[in-house]
Amino acid sequence: MKYLINLIFLIAVVSLPAVGEEWTLAKCITFALENNIELKNKERKIIQAENEILAAYGSYLPTVSASGLKVLKESVSSLYLPGPGGTMMEVEMDMLSNYQYSLSANLPLFTGGVRFYGLKTACAQRDIARQEYRKARMDVIYAVSEAYYNVIYAGLMKELARENVKILEEQKGMVEAQYNNGEASNLDLLQAKVELNNARPDALKAESGYKTALMSLKNILGVGEEALLTVSHDFNVDEKRGLPEKDVLMDLALKNNPDIKILKKNSDIVNYSKSMSKGQYLPSVVLSGTYGQQKEEWGQDWEDSYNITLSLQWNLLQGLKRPTGIKNLSLQKDILDDTYRDIVEKTGIDLSMKLEGVREARERLNAQKTNLSLAGESLEVARAGYQEGVVSLLELMQARIGYNNAKAGDIRARYDLNLSWLKLMKAAGILEKEEAL
């Protein structure tokens, strides 16, 4: 028992992040997929569905049963037979042999399509289980990716908020010095204090946001709150990535979106059920055989007996069960068809929205890059002017704050672009197949 506890502890330690180790997005996704309980349960459901397929194949095999008995006590029948001299003789007869056993086999030759469509239904249900597993995997990948991006974004914003507080503290100290020298008014000092006091809550909020984002990522990964987890410090944005056409994405969604594929499989199952219901109007044919042996006393020889039968059963009338069942299945098929058309239409609209989100995020990122470049130039000019004495320290600090604000806009645009691509790929059902684009 002690060895088992130590082994479990060792596995847990190995699985957790090493101190100071940077976890990439790919590593976080792999860890989450390997340890997610819901995914493991989905895998078990796939195995259950595959077992149902084996059971459906088994319906083509004969059923075999064996039985045996020993008569302990039975009633005896008496028969009166003519005897010599016109007398009647009483003869006692039992109807069962004292010892007997039999082996029986039944093989359905025709069941109206029940076995065939039952097998196809089991295969369709396995496909549904696989699509539900794919959907769960994409949900995990999306959740981990979004949480990972949130941590990066919150970390960068936390650093900017700290830097803004530092700049405003320097600004306040400078204004105080100018005020003491009579170079700044009381209003200037109050404004510097107000700006600093406004920045401090923002810094606290950014710090709390980073901690919350990190705890959310740990929760999704399934690691303890005390685990030391370090993520990347910046976004990896592929700015040259081409934007796919709507028709290409729609084709990919029809082929890969789990919800669409599950609906199609459910529609197939209804068709199979309808075919089985129609098959109930047909007769069923069963081949049966029995072989047995029996004897009266244990010391006697066994007597053989066997029979082979071919039976036909035809349910000519079962009330209104069959026709109403077929009508209900037809209505269910109409429901699924309408749902399928509706989800396809909504998927097209959703893809258009996601495409527009990516397009807008790309354009905003380009605009923010230009804005950041201009803010950087402005900061360089302010620094040069300050060194030459033509720009005050206050103006230099304002330029630094402007640069930080532009940097915050750039960070937000990069975050939104990554998230937009993530949403687009999930809507198309290709979150694990990026090469399809």
| Residue range 430-436: mean pLDDT, rounded | 67
Question: Cα–Cα distance between 417 and 29 in angstroms, integer?
Answer: 19
Mean pLDDT (the chain) is: 86
> pLDDT over 70 for what percent of the chain?
89
What pTM does this model have?
Answer: 0.81
Looking at residue 51, what DSSP letter applies? H
Torsion sign across C-alpha atoms 360, 366, 371, 376: positive
Q: pLDDT tens digits for 128-145? A: 999 999 999 999 999 999
Instruction: Specify the range with the lowest mean pLDDT, choosing from 67-81, 139-153, 261-275, 285-299.
Output: 67-81
Question: Letter for the amino acid at 166?
Answer: K
184, 185, 186, 192 alpha-carbon torsion, rounded to 10°: -50
pLDDT bucket at 284, cuts 50 / 70 / 90: very high
Residue that has been written with the tokens 């509706």 in this structure: 342
- What residue spans of 88-185 are helical by DSSP H? 114-180
Q: Is the pLDDT of residue 16 over 60?
A: no
| Residue range 162-168: mean pLDDT, rounded | 87
| Residue range 278-299: mean pLDDT, rounded | 90
Q: Is the pLDDT of residue 251 over 60?
A: yes
| Residue range 9-20: mean pLDDT, rounded | 46
Q: pLDDT tens digits for 177-230? A: 878 888 778 887 888 888 889 889 989 999 999 999 999 999 999 888 778 888
Highest mean pLDDT among 180-189, 240-249, 336-345: 336-345
Q: pLDDT tens digits for 24-79? A: 899 999 999 999 999 999 999 999 999 999 999 999 999 999 999 887 766 566 66
Bridge partners (DSSP) listed for residue 79: 91
Question: Cα–Cα distance between 407 and 417 in angstroms, integer?
Answer: 15
Instruction: Specify the range with the lowest mean pLDDT, choosing from 117-126, 369-378, 392-401.
Output: 392-401
pLDDT bucket at 6, cuts 50 / 70 / 90: very low
> pLDDT over 90 for what percent of the chain?
57
DSSP H or E run through 266: helix 258-279
Tokens of 15: 């699985």
Report the residue count for the chain: 437
Question: Which residues, other chains included, contact 158 with Cβ-Cβ below 8 Å and sequence gap of 6+?
Answer: 203, 206, 207, 209, 210
Tokens of 277: 């219901």
The pLDDT of residue 339 is 94
The pLDDT of residue 71 is 76
Q: pLDDT tens digits for 96-110? A: 667 889 999 999 999
Residue that has been written with the tokens 């923010």 in this structure: 368
Question: Which residues, other chains included, contact 87 with Cβ-Cβ below 8 Å and sequence gap of 6+?
Answer: none
Q: Find, among 200, 175, 177, the residue nearest to 189 by Cα.
A: 175
Question: Cα–Cα distance between 35 and 3 in angstroms, integer?
Answer: 23
Tell me the residue ranges of DSSP E strands in 163-319.
230-231, 284-295, 303-313
Question: Cα–Cα distance between 216 and 145 in angstroms, integer?
Answer: 12
CA 14 to chain centroid, in Å, comes to 26
DSSP H or E run through 63: strand 63-70
The pLDDT of residue 137 is 94
The pLDDT of residue 345 is 95
Instruction: Specify the range with the lowest mean pLDDT, choosing from 16-20, 54-58, 163-167, 319-323.
Output: 16-20
Q: Is the pLDDT of residue 11 over 50?
A: no
Give me the DSSP letters along 212-240: HHHHHHHHHHT--TTS--EE-SS----TT
Higher-pLDDT residue of 81, 14: 81
